[in-house]
Structure 1
Amino acid sequence: MKTVFSDTQLAHAPKQEISDGELKPAVEVPSRAEMVLETVKSRKVGEIVSPDDFPIRPLHRVHAPDYVGFLEDFWDKWLAAGRSNEAFPFVWPIRSLRQDIDVNHIDGLLGRYSMDAGTPLGENTFKAARASADTALTAAKFLLDGEQSAFALCRPPGHHAGFDFFGGYCFLNNAAIAAQYLRDYGLHRIAILDVDYHHGNGTQALFYDRPDILFLSIHADPKDEYPYFLGYADETGEHAGTGFTRNWPLPLGTDWDSYTPALEEACRWLLVYKPDAMVVSLGMDCYENDPISGFRFKSEDFSRLGERLKKVGVPTLFVMEGGYAVDALGTNCVNVLEGFAG
């Protein structure tokens, strides 16, 4: 299995995040990708390649052009406002506030284009996010060229990013960009299976009214876990997409044995849907020692996950999402890939 990775993704290096009501050391850090890359090399998973440089169009197929432009121009505007440190939004146009105003101030723009206050932007955020999207696109191209599997070692992650907003450490939705690219270049039915501990709210919203991209997510119950306001079992799509979204919110403390029934049900949906390809939003934060997780996977359970996904029997693109127990992240991620490879 080929792994796609770009060193440019390491340029986004946040120092702090807002969590539990205070500034804490950031957990979505470059060492996450470095640890996975080192394990891919040491366990000889396969060839490691650099991504191609794609035009902006695949990003605009998923994200609003004005949002992408905001990310691209953000740092210059931040400096022009006399700022220099990492940026956090602090005000949002919710409920009775107007959403039809084109604000000028950088703090207003941060609020317009964000969903939380815990995702810092820095000087190199867009550059790294763009490289992460190119990583996913290059891996998707491998599937179009006939490969049966590929691993996009993406960082920063993507599945919380929506049409015109960032959050949850995510800026560009790598899995969604890859899925749309597969559709645009010849495949008819794509399935996205999100196994990150947190619900992929951005991905779900992007494809909620479409039947050509099935979205399945197994995650912690949002009544008790981020993102709180999406990811419930009664969310099944709308309009032409009715029935093409499925969520399995599971209680905190879920281990592999109690996770398996949801995984088997998701695989049955895949069997019925018969996708031309599957994109797996691969989060390793179900791990029992993850600092922001409430699930109880052990490292060997990730091997079982890979083995089960192999049985789906379709070309599969793995796109790295979350996972913040850095010391174990490489082992857990490669366990999935090796389990899939058999």
Structure 2
Amino acid sequence: MTKGDRLAAILIVLQSRDLVRAEDLARRFEVSVRTIYRDVEALSEAGVPVMAIPGTGGGYRLMEGYRLPPLTFTAEEALALLLAQVALSQMGEGPFSEAGRRAMERILAAMPVHVRDGVVSMERLMAVRSEGRLRQRERAWLAQLLAAVWTRRRVRLRYRKVLADEAEWRKVDPYGIAFGYGRWYVPGYCHLRRDTRTFRLDRIEAVELEDETYEVPPDFRMEVWAEAFFSMPERARVAAAIRLTDKETAKRAANDRLFDGPPTREGGAWITTVSYPAEETDWVAERLLGYAGAAVVESPPELREAVVRLGRAAVAAHEDSGAPAPAGHASVEAG
């Protein structure tokens, strides 16, 4: 990034926030704090009314009433926004997929015709798919939690821990929202446990916004949390051995990112592995059930038991529905 690009970017940040610390700007643009001081001085010399607020909670802000002219976008910037919008709309129809579409339409409308036509033609060449599709109630909860993070409002979550018989109410200060391993997560301070905890969206049974507000601890950084959470040490991860029973299944698995790599043939079967955080055992089991009996868990026993348990639950649900089995089809036996 050139100095001119950085100055323009700093100006946009200043316009979008009430107060920005020099340290935060330095971290964002990967320069020293001294460089930020010089950049702010350059903006001031160019006539931009940047105000310095002294003190522990100080920083930089623009003089009240100062506004930049309407923004314009290059084709590269518009493509980046389009890709983000496509990802938003295709990741299970999240709560802001339609809002993202409307925003993209407004951006495109402000662009020159020749640039707009080129960007629009790219949309049909973009696709993003995720295994973590949201159920309808989870979309509503995601929207509520995003609103809580935005307004710093405390929430009450009815949360069911893995293998727990009953859910329990937790009062939580949500620090942010994250997506990984096909799931949505909410890190935050749990008042019941009196410590920071991470909550998985699909284990939440109810969300209530409280009137109380909270402050995110100054030493909490979402990117630091995400790096630690999604890059767990090896001792916290599980390596599972999977046996694939036929060639077609092996071909399918070779293109499935669930697995660590292409299967290798051993005798009359194909062997592959899956590495995952221990707490995601049920999610991996759900994915493996999609292969029916053609993907068999060799180890660990916990994953094999999860596959059996979920398979039996699916069979029981279908048997209890009372729907007659199609002619010529045998019933499924679990185990």
Q: Same fold (TM over 0.5)?
A: no
TM-score normalized by structure 2? 0.25
Instruction: Name the one with the larger strand percent.
Output: 2
Greater C-alpha Rg: 2
Instruction: Name the one with the larger helix percent.
Output: 2
TM-score normalized by structure 1? 0.25
